[in-house]
Amino acid sequence: MRKILFLLALSVICVAASAQSKSFEFYYIAHDRETPVADLCDRLEEAYEMTRRYDDIAAIFYLPNFNEPKVVKVNLPGDNREDFDNLLSELRLKVSHEIFPEHDYAAILDLINEHDFVDEYGDPAYTSVTFSWYVNREFWFFGYNEDIIASLYFVLELDKYEGYVTSQFWYPSDVNIDADRDKPFGNLNLCGKMSFMLLPY
């Protein structure tokens, strides 16, 4: 009995140590008619292969698709290379993927809670967390920056983890994103302390 308890305790310690030695990356992929699909797929493949190469990086790729988003997990339970290949096929074969902000917000929150980057004491469970948002023109036009990004950051209180959580916002280089530099996440300014910079790809 003591041996069983010891093995259980050891397994818990190993799981905790594994999470703490990893970095966590989340990729959100908005896709419409203006998206340079070839360039986007190249960037995603590069990110995927980098994550696959190093087992100390855990990642989730999220492609909105109305109420059936495509989700790929890497170095996490449910990891399947075929899921990533299917995601790339979706991008290449379809003209666009519809964003359903209420569903995306809830689904992403569930995914993050499933793979907590903060432990029960509020301390970081990973060495670092990076959100990479591949956005398009309609993302700001329709207020998805507030409905999805700001709402998530606000609920997760990410402004408390400055330096631990970083965000990158990528957009097609030939598309003009009309983002308010003073309130990039919407008029409510739910996460005004978060750094913001649009990066072309």
pLDDT tens for each residue of 98-149: 999 999 999 999 999 998 877 888 788 899 999 999 999 999 899 999 999 9
Phi, psi of 55 (to 5 degrees): -80, 0
Residue 92 has pLDDT above 50, yes or no: yes
**Class at the top of the CATH hierarchy for domain 24-200:** alpha beta
Per-residue pLDDT averaged across 83-102, rounded?
97
Tell me how far CA of residue 164 lies from CA of 40, 63, 78, in angstroms: 26, 25, 25
Is the pLDDT confidence value at 56 over 90?
yes
- pLDDT score of 45: 98
Tell me the CA distances in angstroms from 110 to 82, 154, 164, one per residue in order. 22, 15, 20
Could you state, in order of their start, the residue ranges of all structural domains in the chain? Answer: 24-200
Is the pLDDT score of 25 beyond 60?
yes
pTM exceeding 0.95: no
Instruction: Of 106, 185, 93, give the one whose Cα is nearest residue 139.
Output: 185
| 190 phi and psi angles, rounded to 5 deg | -65, -30
Per DSSP, the chain holds a count of helices (H) and strands (E) of 7, 6
Kindly state the tokens that stand for 126: 């990973």
